[in-house]
Structure formats: structure tokens, C-alpha cells
Amino acid sequence: MIRLEGIEKTYRSGDLETPVLKNINLHISRGEYVALMGSSGTGKSTLMNILGCLDVPTKGRYELDGVDVVKLTDSELSLVRNEKIGFVFQQFHLLPKSDALTNVLLPLVYADSYPPNAKKRAESLLTLVGLRERMHYRPGQLSGGQRQRVAIARALINDPRIILADEPTGNLDKTSTVEIMELFDKLHGQGHTVIMVTHDEETAKRAHRVVEMSDGQLVSDRSREELDTEGK
């Protein structure tokens, strides 16, 4: 489903070149639950942005469901993004003046496709994330964990198969972290492919595969079985 081959990303400013991703090769099948780990500045967010079609690599091939997305135009890319990918960020990126319901509906507004049942769908997603009673609260009236749950409902509005989450619990306390992680477990259980950046070993334990980055490269890729055997 996801196939990265020889992905490189280099930032240029003037004469200065910063190589950030170096020859990344990664295959992820449908329904996997992957944790992406590694110290700060190693390129995790850069890689997630490429996976999420928010950014393009300098070099290499990114095949998503058989399509080389590197070759797509910006508008084709945003179609792919809308159809297949839900993105959850560390900073929730909600519109402060809009209520939870409107925030969840936002991707549809951008996509220019507003199906007649959209509002019902947004309401049922907010119910799924446990915010049925808070639909008309604005972000400022919600806790951090609740805001992130709104952001997760928003990521699900187009029913994407892939959920990408870049440190979704980085700004949350322990209790909210557990709630959010249980929500991701549930989504994975429903058949979504989940790829999540985390610094937290406990959080990574929920994933079925842990991929580690160091200095722009993938340095380890282990399944849950391998990790459990090593831990014994």
C-alpha cells in the first residue's frame, strides 16, 4: 500500500544544503500499526509530511496504492490526500473561533465536496471520540485531550484508510494520552492503517511494528514479536 524507495529530502537555502532524509526505503501494508521513533531532528516529521502528501521528496519514489505520487501535480496530490489520508498533528491546528462540529467538517469545505449527510457523519465521529455533549464548544472551551479528539474526528471525516499522527500526545497529560491511544487502537481495530511518531516507549508498545530513524536514515525496523523477544 505504501512503498518508499530511495527517498531523499534536502533543504536548500542559498548555497547551504541540508540533507534531511537519506535513502529511505520503507514498505507498509494495509492495516499495519507502525510507531516511528528517533531523537529530535532526525527527520521524522519530514518523512511523515511526505507520507501524508503534504510535502514532496527531492528524490526517490513514493508509491501509494500503486500510484507514484511524486509525479502528481499539486491539485492531484491534494485529491489523494483528501481521499486516503487523515493527518493528526501535535499542535491540534483547530480553528479557534469555530465549534468542534465545524472544525470536523473543515476538510470537506476545503475539498469542495459537501455531501448531504456530512453533518450527520461529523456528529457520529464526535460521538465516536466521546464528544457528543461538546459538539458546539469552541477549542478554547475544551481540554487538550478533547481538542486532540476533535482533531482526530476531523482526520476521519473523509473516511481515510491511512491515519498519520505526528506526536499526537506530545502536548497531553498521562490520562489524555491513554484516552487518545485507546482511540488509535480502536481505529486500527476498525481496519485503518496507523503510522504514528512518538518519543514515548509506552505509546510505541501499542504498535505492531517499530521503525527507528537516526540522522535521516532508517536504522531499525522491528515487529512486535521481535521486540517482545528482545525485551525478555
Residue 148 binds ligand ATP (CB under 6 A): no
**Amino acid making up residue 75:** S
Residue 114 binds ligand ATP (CB under 6 A): no
Nearer to Mg ion, 10 or 158 (CB): 10
Q: Looking only at residues 14 through 73 of this chain, which bind ligand ATP when binding is defined by CB under 6 A?
A: 18, 20, 38, 40-46
152 binds, among Mg ion, ligand ATP, none (CB under 5 to 8 A by kind): none
CB 15, min distance to ligand ATP, A: 13
CB 168, min distance to ligand ATP, A: 12
CB 196, min distance to ligand ATP, A: 12
Nearer to ligand ATP, 16 or 230 (CB): 16
Residues near ligand ATP (CB under 6 A): 11, 18, 20, 38, 40-46
